């Protein structure tokens, strides 16, 4: 037995994904270095008490084992990790220790004070990167869509 979790798919998701693929393909045709100038980024949370993210944990069996893991507190210590793939390089990982979730303010500070200088260092030391053609990709997490974060990213990238 294996629980299979999936993200909710909306009616327009297929069209949006197809449109994204067409845009990326077109840009790559006109600029062979386009994908080299995209920083693909994401975060992940690791709980420090041994709890495993249930989205990544699987128990294989012929029947449902009804495995439970007791949680003794609502405020678990955790480690948030951010990393990016930028051209042929890995940027990070960055480790953020704490009990709180990543907020827009924390994410903006991370972008301004740590991630941007790291990307700038990569750009300045490799001729393949074109600063005026950089794209910073991120997923749909709430902190990524705060007005302050979008304003900063629009100005920077």
Q: Which domain holds residue 135?
A: 11-156
pLDDT value of residue 27: 92
pLDDT value of residue 56: 55
pLDDT at 54 over 60: no
Neighbours of 138 (CB within 10 A): 19
Tell me how far the alpha carbon of residue 38 is from its chain's centroid.
Answer: 13
3 domain residue, yes or no: no
82 domain residue, yes or no: yes
128 domain residue, yes or no: yes
User: 68 versus 78: which is more confidently predicted?
Assistant: 78
87 domain residue, yes or no: yes
Tell me how far the alpha carbon of residue 15 is from its chain's centroid.
Answer: 22
pLDDT value of residue 113: 94
Is residue 42 classed as helix, strand or coil in its secondary structure? strand
Judge whether 93 and 84 are in contact, CB under 8 Å.
no
Long-range contacts of residues 30-36, Cβ cutoff 8 Å, at least 24 apart: 31/133, 33/128, 33/130, 33/133, 34/133, 36/87, 36/88, 36/128, 36/129
pLDDT value of residue 134: 87
Provide the domain count of the chain: 1
Sign of CA dihedral 12, 13, 17, 18: negative
- Distance between CA atoms of 99 and 75, rounded to whole angstroms? 6
pLDDT at 71 over 60: no
2 domain residue, yes or no: no
Q: What is the CATH number for 26? A: 3.30.420.10
pLDDT value of residue 73: 58
Q: What is the mean pLDDT of residues 1-17?
A: 74
Query: Tens digits of per-residue pLDDT, 34-52?
Result: 999 999 999 888 877 766 5
**pTM summary value:** 0.71
5 domain residue, yes or no: no
pLDDT at 89 over 80: yes
pLDDT band at 109 (very low <50, low <70, confident <90, very high): very high
Residue 43: name the closest of 137, 149, 156 by CA: 137
4 domain residue, yes or no: no
């Amino acid at each position: 037995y294996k629980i299979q979790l999936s993200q909710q798919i909306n009616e327009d998701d297929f069209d949006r994904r197809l449109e994204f693929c067409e845009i990326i393909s077109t840009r790559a045709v006109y600029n062979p270095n386009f994908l080299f100038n995209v920083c693909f980024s994401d975060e992940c949370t690791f709980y420090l008490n041994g709890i495993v993210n249930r989205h990544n944990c699987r128990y294989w069996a012929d029947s449902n084992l009804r495995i439970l893991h007791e949680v003794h507190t609502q405020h678990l210590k955790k480690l948030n990790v951010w990393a990016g793939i930028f051209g042929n390089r890995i940027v990070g990982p960055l480790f953020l220790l704490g009990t709180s979730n990543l907020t827009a303010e924390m994410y903006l500070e991370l972008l301004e004070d740590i991630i941007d200088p790291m990307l700038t260092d990569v750009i300045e030391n490799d001729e393949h990167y074109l600063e005026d053609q950089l794209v910073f990709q991120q997923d749909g997490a709430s902190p990524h869509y705060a007005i302050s974060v979008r304003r900063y990213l629009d100005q920077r990238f």
